[in-house]
Chains A and B, each alone.
Chain A
Amino acid sequence: MAFAIIESCVNCWACEPLCPSQAIYEARPHFLIDAKKCTECDGDHAHPQCVSICPIEGAILDAVGEAANPPGSLTGIPPEAMERAMAEIQSR
Chain B
Amino acid sequence: MMELPVVGQEQGGCSSSGCGSNSDQLSHLPENIRDKVKDHPCYSEEAHHHYARMHVAVAPACNIQCHYCNRKYDCANESRPGVVSELLTPDQAVKKVMAVAANIPQMTVLGIAGPGDPLANPERTFETFRQLTEKAPDIKLCVSTNGLSLPDQVEELCKHNIDHVTITINCVDPEVGAKIYPWIFWNNRRIKGRKGAKILIEQQQKGLEMLTERGILVKVNSVMIPGVNDEHLEEVSKVVKAKGAFLHNVMPLIAEAEHGTFFGVMGQRGPTHDELQTLQDKCAGDMNMMRHCRQCRADAVGMLGEDRGDEFTMDKVEMMDIDYEAAMQKRADYQASIEATRDAQKNNTGESFIALSSIGVRKKETRPVLMAIATTGGGVINQHFGHAKEFLIYEASPTDVRFIGHRKVDLYCTGGDTCGDAETTLQKIIRTLDGCEAVLCSKIGYEPWEQLEQAGIQPNGEHAMEPIEQAVAAVYAEMIENGVLDTPKENHELQASA
Contact = CB atoms under 8 A, between A and B. Distances in A.
Contacts of B264: 85
Interface in A1-26: 8, 10-14, 18
Contacts of B265: 77, 81-82, 85
Contact of A53 (B190, B258, B266): B190
Given A89-B257, A92-B420, A49 B188 contact: yes
A46 B189 contact: yes
A56 interface: yes
A46 to B, nearest CB: 7
Nearest to A76: B182
Interface residues of B, number: 29
Interface in A57-82: 74-77, 81-82
A52 B262 contact: no
Given A47-B190, A81-B266, A55 B60 contact: no
Main secondary structure of the interface of A (DSSP, over half): loop
Contacts of B183: 74
Contacts of B460: none
A53 B262 contact: no
Contacts of B65: 55, 74-75
B contact patch SS: loop
Given A74-B183, A75-B182, A77-B266, A12 B61 contact: yes
A28 interface: no
Contact of A75 (B188, B190, B257, B262): B262
Given A47-B189, A53-B63, A85-B265, A14 B120 contact: yes
Contact of A11 (B60, B67, B182): B60
A55 B420 contact: no
Nearest to B115: A12
A14 B189 contact: no
Contacts of B188: 18, 45-47, 49, 52
Contacts of A81: 265-266
A53 B71 contact: no
Contact of B61 (A13, A76, A77, A85): A13
B62 interface: yes
Nearest to B421: A92
B11 interface: no
Interface in B168-207: 182-183, 185, 188-190
Contacts of A75: 65, 67, 70, 182, 261-262
A41 to B, nearest CB: 9
Contacts of A8: 72
A19 B488 CA distance: 65
Contact of A14 (B61, B257, B261): B61
A89 B190 contact: no
Contact of B62 (A12, A76, A77): A12
A31 B65 CA distance: 20
Interface string B49-74: 00000000000111101010011101
B87 interface: yes
A8 to B, nearest CB: 8
Given A11-B60, A89-B258, A76 B71 contact: no
19 contacts: A8-B72, A11-B60, A11-B87, A12-B62, A12-B71, A12-B116, A13-B60, A14-B185, A18-B188, A47-B190, A52-B185, A53-B61, A56-B72, A74-B65, A74-B183, A75-B182, A76-B182, A82-B265, A88-B257
Interface of A: 8, 10-14, 18, 45-47, 49, 52-53, 55-56, 74-77, 81-82, 85, 88-89, 92
